[in-house]
Chain A
Amino acid sequence: MKEVVVISGKGGTGKTSLVAAFAALAERKILVDCDVDAADLHLVLNPRIDRREDFSGGKKASILEELCTGCGKCREVCRFAAVSSVAGPDGESRFAVDPISCEGCGLCARLCPAEAIRFEPVISGQWFVSTTSYGPMVHARLGIAQANSGKLVSLLRHEARDIAEKEGFNLLIADGSPGIGCPVIASITRADLVLAVTEPTCSGLHDIQRVMDLTSHFRIPLMLCVNKWDIHPEMADRIERETAQRGARMAGRIRYDPAVTRAQIMKTTVVEYTGGAIAGDIRALWRNVVYALG
């Protein structure tokens, strides 16, 4: 089975619209939305959820007020500034943990002399296995202000690979998140190919260089796509030249077309919405990706 992950560095370059188009073009594949804190692929692919599971990203500490003696050890050892002083029922000082700041290390619970700190798994999101008219899809929703998106991404990819193997699919297509941090690293490690989608702007150039640094750090083959290339053709040329010098292969260019937004509004993929030139760009690009996957 081959796994291709679409990322971009910079947000809003068209990852999800492109992955949705691939869903319509590819055969025998499973889809994964790895952008777990702002997932959008479901808005186009319209999944029917078959299986729903809670996700626990880790544990969090909470202080039992009736046992807290107010000694302050927890605040002293917490390196994430998650413990603050509150007034107890007797007016004396007690302590409380801010669940949003708590990094889940458990050090306070281990060191509390009064054993007043509970340290238990928390549900930090949900993940789903769904059916779409394009094939199965694995996706998730991370709870608001929750951490550990990387762990959730790894879980989604693992589940998707299992399903693909059981059902004999030979391709996994993943929609990644912006940036180059924790969830992105979790979505690309051990992938067969990263397709980076950029746009012909100063920011697009800057951010794609960081993406290239990342894929070479993890030694993952990279293909590049310049989306909306005709907004600034000289910058498109420059991005292709500079990335090619560093060993990226070109997957293709996609022209600017308001049909991309209209397709999204109609909840369909660009290649189904229009037979125009942009659909040709995307089909050609997909053929190059398939060829590169071997």
Chain B
Amino acid sequence: MKIAIASGKGGTGKTTIAVNLALTVTSAGQPVTLLDCDVEEPNCHLFLKPEITGSRPVTILQPKVLEERCNGCGVCADVCEYHALTVMGKQVLVFGELCHGCGACFLLCPEKAIVEEGHPIGLVEEGSSHGIRFVQGRLNVGEVMSPAVIRQVRDRFETTGVCIIDSPPGTSCPVVESIRGVDFVLLVTEPTPFGLNDLALAVDMVRALARPFAVVLNRCDAGDEGVRLYCKREGIEILLSIPDDRRIAERYARGEIIIEQLPEYREAFNRSYRRIAALVSEGRGGANRGKEGCAA
């Protein structure tokens, strides 16, 4: 079972939910893998403090022009949709930061004057902590291809047991890469106008991807009624509400884990996990799956 933790707005508590949910699953005696797919700013490790046992680079293939073969015909620049190659006289300039690694220049060069070389864009690190198998992606600073790093994390390390995926904020390509094909999405938000606006965008996204989902309302008593009214109107379940508890904020600030430090929250996470498992096994989150489900 793959559960992704996502949100439109940043800073709503995705990492807190992901870490505490992973600990909840492992406490229930089940093997769990936590995949930190927020590769631009991975934070789960700050709380789990895992021992990293393996690390390997993520590379994408980028073109290298063999000058002795190139006749400056310009086909490579013409076929590159990302403007990553340009021909100046007889010389081809490659702008690696624009390259998506599609291979068009390499495959279509009539002179076979292009070879491909792996260009490092990030790292995937593996380790363990608290009985949780831990994997995180890390995008190199200055690189833009976050989805490629996320793809590597998911392709290499997803297992058949429970996988919890901490996704990046937003609704664009890195998020889509993180939640594609998962069994359940938890959308974390807060009860404010920004939280509501970005939740509605995230709901459109998970519906477009036809994933079952529910909402976690964090700092649930620190705003207005907008999110609750929206969820009621749309038939979306609020699976967990967490109060605006200063003790949680302080523990978070120090990199501590809520259910370890404040055991009174343990039952709420247990209940949430049981509920997700039940919804997934019934093939539900059902009222929320896809557009047609919403009307039901």
Contact = CB atoms under 8 A, between A and B. Distances in A.
Interface of A: 8-13, 16, 36-38, 40, 43, 58-59, 77, 79-80, 100, 103-107, 110-111, 142, 144-147, 149-150, 177-185, 199-203, 206-207, 210, 213-214, 217-218, 231-232, 235, 258, 261, 264-265, 267
Contact of A106 (B43, B61, B79): B79
27 contacts: A12-B11, A13-B10, A37-B170, A38-B170, A38-B197, A79-B61, A104-B81, A107-B104, A107-B108, A144-B201, A145-B172, A146-B172, A178-B170, A179-B38, A179-B40, A179-B174, A180-B40, A182-B145, A202-B43, A203-B43, A207-B41, A214-B141, A231-B250, A232-B250, A232-B253, A264-B192, A267-B193
Given A106-B79, A179-B169, A258-B222, A10 B46 contact: no
B204 A40 contact: no
Given A145-B171, A147-B172, A107 B102 contact: yes
Interface in B180-209: 180, 192-194, 197-198, 201, 204-205, 208-209
B198 A38 contact: yes
B223 A179 contact: no
A40 to B, nearest CB: 4
A181 B140 CA distance: 9
A43 B194 contact: yes
B176 interface: yes
Interface in B129-185: 139, 141-146, 168-174, 176, 180
Contacts of B9: 11-12, 38, 40
Interface in B80-99: 81-82
B171 A37 contact: yes
Contacts of A258: 222
Given A12-B10, A206-B43, A107 B194 contact: no
Nearest to B10: A11
A195 to B, nearest CB: 17
A60 to B, nearest CB: 10
Contacts of A178: 10-11, 40-41, 168-170
B139 A180 contact: yes
Nearest to A149: B172
Contacts of B193: 40, 43, 264-265, 267
A213 B142 CA distance: 8
A59 B141 contact: no
B255 to A, nearest CB: 4
A218 B172 contact: no
B8 A182 contact: no
Contact of B249 (A103, A145, A184, A231): A231
A150 to B, nearest CB: 7
